[in-house]
Structure 1
């Protein structure tokens, strides 16, 4: 429970109230219409005296019709103002008014009610996909600690001026761009660069909004206002990229532009042609009401209810089946879009790799065993909170290596650590640390592209540990499965060093891999791919820095289990299990769903066409039309349910 801002008492969270209100506003009209329709049919079946008078039944069904009919009338009016005179809205209105004219009140209400429910289903599937990009702004810190008059004041980042000093605690996100005032500190920069290795920033160097301080309290001097920060620029990229995404136009809307004027024209001809023929053949008796009845029955039969219902049913079947596999499609339109994908671009860290460091190799110098080397390095690193240090200590535990007590630990910023073990000085860090102490080491260490931690005992080089981010268990399968789907253009984009990215690409059998990319670079690369109209691109990523490219791609796929909220908000498809192999499965689900959808459309259209012909000839009545509609809908439901059984 939350506390009400006006009275301080506990009250239901505002968001829950808003959700309930939204659901009520969407469904109350259809619900009211349904209750009135069913109660009217029951009273008529029970031969209620209340319903004996014609005007009572007419008023009753008009009241039932208006909640669902008025919104459609409004849509039809809006379409007409845009010179779209033959929308499906027009057909629904003409057909249902026709049903009322011939005295088929329940059918007139039912047709509009079923149409409205079908539209609600379809809108729900599509609208959920269009997440408000503005929600990304929640990622930015809402507060900043500003140093004013020798005291720290909590202030909105928007009100912090360039030149002021702000303080950021360990674990907090930097709210504004600035320059470092402390000697050195470690930062998680994944939000901006996707770089998996924490970065040390020294005094005088630039600190960007969005970075997270990982080891100590720091102070920076602000160099840019809130709306010009690095994080703000990323969010702007997301918003701009989203605007460039073409909205999915529903099939039924396109179809109605052709179908509706033809149906209305044929209905008019059903009345006019017999009238004209009566002048040619004087023996032919033209009865206006009879032919008008046929025309109206023809219109009622022609209502595309089965078409409207069969489409969302198929999509819901696909979405439901995919969700069982841990794949969340945000709308039926993305099930269609993913079937056209021929280019897959993947982020590396957190998408193809685990995003955590592990010791890959231990290489000891002569005179010392590997276990001794691991023990020395892990002992010196044991008090450090750095991710690499933690990975080494965990590795020592896995190898059952006991740690030794250390004393006199000294940190050399940007180089490493020095400590005493059993009275002997031990150096642990990078090659520059050993160079500073004039300790010789093999020259080939400088050629190693992955992260290495070197060690010296006393004045002698003792060996090194090689660490790297590791591939996810199913990463190779993910790429192989995509190739089996005839997707030949598979690429990797990453903020990591090019050498590291190339190494992973070779392991996976990918020939196109690009490293050292900031978010702007990833966007530029994707825009270049989009310039070739034949490329239908899916981007797979997990970090906030991936949000702009997720929004720009034709289908954005986010790793949702561990991925950032920003990526999940922006993506069209979310892999909830964090398994890259699910990307190929998502494409398979999309293709199967699309096949089922077109089966439903063909079935609905074929049956509808047959009954339309029978209706024009006066053979089919309104009841046959309703039965045909219900039958087609049931077949469409059964066909859609097949998706659930076919996808396991």
Structure 2
């Protein structure tokens, strides 16, 4: 039984955003196999109705998804329909139980449905898969040979070849007409082939069908290439897992794992679910998910996403994700939502093609009948030209020009650790001329670090830091944790503190070896302000954006510690890359002006500090009026500003609210990915423009040569198939992009 989709909102691991299945918008309709459906789907009641999902087989191109949608939309009681070409999933929201009618509608349209949890049928052998094409090629060669020796026999052979090739195409055309797709390529091809037979162009009728089938195979190959990235992602998750229960090791299906289960992953093995490391230490290869080429070191208690590989040791983890909700599943859901959010140019091409195709059929009819009726021109030549025009006007290359490029662009972005929520977001990214950064957790690591230890007379750095760490041991305050971590990093022996207590609003103190050690801010000292020399030093550090704390021993200051949130390693490189693209940057932060100025000075950026969330929104709106702006953030307070910007970009380690609000997310937390996304978006737009130019340019050339009598039917279909292949191949170039 397939698992139905659920609208439930669940808690997510920090690395990735869970994408909820939201109401699906109506989408325009716009190719391909026979089969039956045996899947049974259990409904889940949602706010919009009962929701069902299947996997669709037989889709060779992006237009196939629209045809399946169109067929399902004809079923009474259907509220919303979405077919995701990349993941081959059909999702339906309906008022009642429509399973049988949906399955019947899809079957009649020439496609197959199967359960989401079903084991896919083994792929047919290449011989069997290409048998219809091979048969037609052999018949075509025999017909041509007979034509050379005996014209009547040759003509009869060409007719037989045409009928053999026409049968599956015409059958599919009738199916699509019944399901609401009147102007599919199969319909145009059937009309052209039958018309060619009636006017005696038998050889060309057979050639048209042969070239069409070759084009279909090429499109299927291109589609499999486009989906390969998604298939590879799905393959990252192992089918089984080793679960530890009551001291025994059990091999169970990965789908049976529940939060709280303890699992083992051997060296070189992949995680079947999101987990929290129980082992003391391990290295994980997360490159397939985040694009990070260097193995990531994790310590006990840290989260590790599903699909990561344990590099060098057997590890034990506690499962933290529910079935179907791990990092890989959430990325797949994001891809599904990405196809829902189609780019404006893609929606325009869809609307245009719905008008364009019937208009071309009307023009072809007029070309065939007007000259003979009004100007006494011979019928056969003009009918022939009309049929050729019909094939030239096929919109396949135009329709696929945009989704092919966008799918490739989104796949490349995902491979680099950037998740972009659809073609609309990708299109907006290409327009960006400004980037606004949050500071803490975005440009900086978000965790303070000790950057200076200044002892006074009678004590050295190591002793000062060790005493401070002893007092701060066990505290949950970020500054306290930073002090302890620095002492541990230096491998200092930390003495035992007693009578530790927090002084509300003042600091913290404890007793060590009979001495009272107190840590506080400079203005909270027990004896007032420190000496003038120390005070000048503190002011100098604070002017650099550092937070200074003073350490006292028995009421006397013995030194200071300076802490600061440090820049991400790639922050300067990321800002330089944006400047190289002509994109300006600005920092919008709620932090104090001194800290903001220090970070802005290092990066050479303007800044605005002390901003509340509503202030950030106002700043973003003002900047957005100048030129398209991207807001990059990680916190709940950044979400409103991200929503107000042209496009919001979330750091993958950010809060759930920020991740869900954003239009894109950097799963690897590397800022250099922002420039890469913008560069990729611009390359995708250039690719789309090239595709549209090729699709329309070839049609214009062959339209002119056909009307002048220079080209015929087989060149017409070659032009259409060639344009489709060229457009698809051009889009696939993005997949080879290394920059």
What TM-score range do you get, normalising by the shorter chain? Answer: 0.5 to 0.7
| CA positional deviation for 1:367 | 3.3
8 Å CA contact 1:99–1:107 kept in 2: the answer is no
Secondary structure (helix, strand or coil) at the match of 2:483 reads helix
The normalised TM-score by structure 2 is 0.57
Match in the other structure for 1:402: 493
Q: Given the alignment, which residue of 523, 531, 555 partners 2:617? A: 523
8 Å CA contact 1:318–1:643 kept in 2: the answer is yes
Trace 1:89-168 onto structure 2 (pairs within 5 A). 95=188, 98-99=191-192, 102=195
Does 2:637 correspond to 1:545? yes
Does 2:506 correspond to 1:412? no
Secondary structure (helix, strand or coil) at the match of 1:359 reads strand
- Structure 1: distance between partners of 2:184 and 2:3: 50
8 Å CA contact 1:321–1:647 kept in 2: the answer is no
8 Å CA contact 1:452–1:466 kept in 2: the answer is yes
Q: Given the alignment, which residue of 665, 686, 689 partners 1:574? A: 665
| CA positional deviation for 1:607 | 1.7
Gaps of 5+ in 2: 5-39, 45-50, 57-82, 92-105, 114-123, 140-156, 198-204, 231-340
Trace 1:138-537 onto structure 2 (pairs within 5 A). 248-250=344-346, 251-253=348-350, 256=353, 263=360, 266-275=363-372, 277-278=374-375, 284=377, 286-287=378-379, 291-435=382-526, 438=528, 440=530, 442=532, 443-444=535-536, 445=538, 448=542, 450-488=546-584, 490-518=585-613, 520-530=614-624, 532=625, 534-537=626-629
- Structure 2: distance between partners of 1:624 and 1:645: 31
- Structure 1: distance between partners of 2:357 and 2:721: 21
With over 3 angstroms needed to count, the CA separation of the structure-2 counterparts of 1:406 and 1:326, relative to structure 1, is: same
| CA positional deviation for 1:394 | 1.2
Please list the CA deviations of residues 532-574 of structure 1 after superposition, one character each: whole Å capped at 9, or x if unmatched: 2x511112222333333333322222222x2333333333332
| CA positional deviation for 1:272 | 4.8
Please list the CA deviations of residues 415-452 of structure 1 after superposition, one character each: whole Å capped at 9, or x if unmatched: 221211111111112235424x5574555547835322
With over 3 angstroms needed to count, the CA separation of the structure-2 counterparts of 1:57 and 1:300, relative to structure 1, is: closer
Match in the other structure for 1:596: 687
Please list the CA deviations of residues 21-58 of structure 1 after superposition, one character each: whole Å capped at 9, or x if unmatched: 8645488646469x9998877787788x9x97999998
Match in the other structure for 2:255: none
Q: Given the alignment, which residue of 620, 626, 630 partners 2:717? A: 626
Greater shift in the superposed pair: 539-548 or 253-262 = 253-262
Secondary structure (helix, strand or coil) at the match of 2:440 reads coil
Please list the CA deviations of residues 119-157 of structure 1 after superposition, one character each: whole Å capped at 9, or x if unmatched: x98xx99xx9xxxxxxxxxxxxxxxxxxxxxxxxxxxxx
| CA positional deviation for 1:515 | 3.3
Q: Which structure ranks higher in relative contact order (CA pairs < 8 Å, sequence separation ≥ 6)?
A: 1
- Structure 1: distance between partners of 2:737 and 2:162: 51
- Structure 2: distance between partners of 1:14 and 1:393: 53
Secondary structure (helix, strand or coil) at the match of 2:442 reads coil
Please list the CA deviations of residues 361-380 of structure 1 after superposition, one character each: whole Å capped at 9, or x if unmatched: 12223333222221221111
8 Å CA contact 2:651–2:665 kept in 1: the answer is yes
- Structure 2: distance between partners of 1:508 and 1:581: 14
Please list the CA deviations of residues 365-402 of structure 1 after superposition, one character each: whole Å capped at 9, or x if unmatched: 33332222212211111132322211101111223332
Does 2:172 correspond to 1:64? yes
Match in the other structure for 1:135: none
8 Å CA contact 2:136–2:210 kept in 1: the answer is no
Secondary structure (helix, strand or coil) at the match of 2:452 reads strand
Aligned residues: 492
Greater shift in the superposed pair: 57-66 or 492-501 = 57-66
Secondary structure (helix, strand or coil) at the match of 2:496 reads coil
- Structure 1: distance between partners of 2:692 and 2:451: 55
| CA positional deviation for 1:64 | 1.6
Greater shift in the superposed pair: 618-627 or 63-72 = 63-72
Match in the other structure for 1:554: 646
| CA positional deviation for 1:270 | 1.5
8 Å CA contact 1:492–1:512 kept in 2: the answer is yes
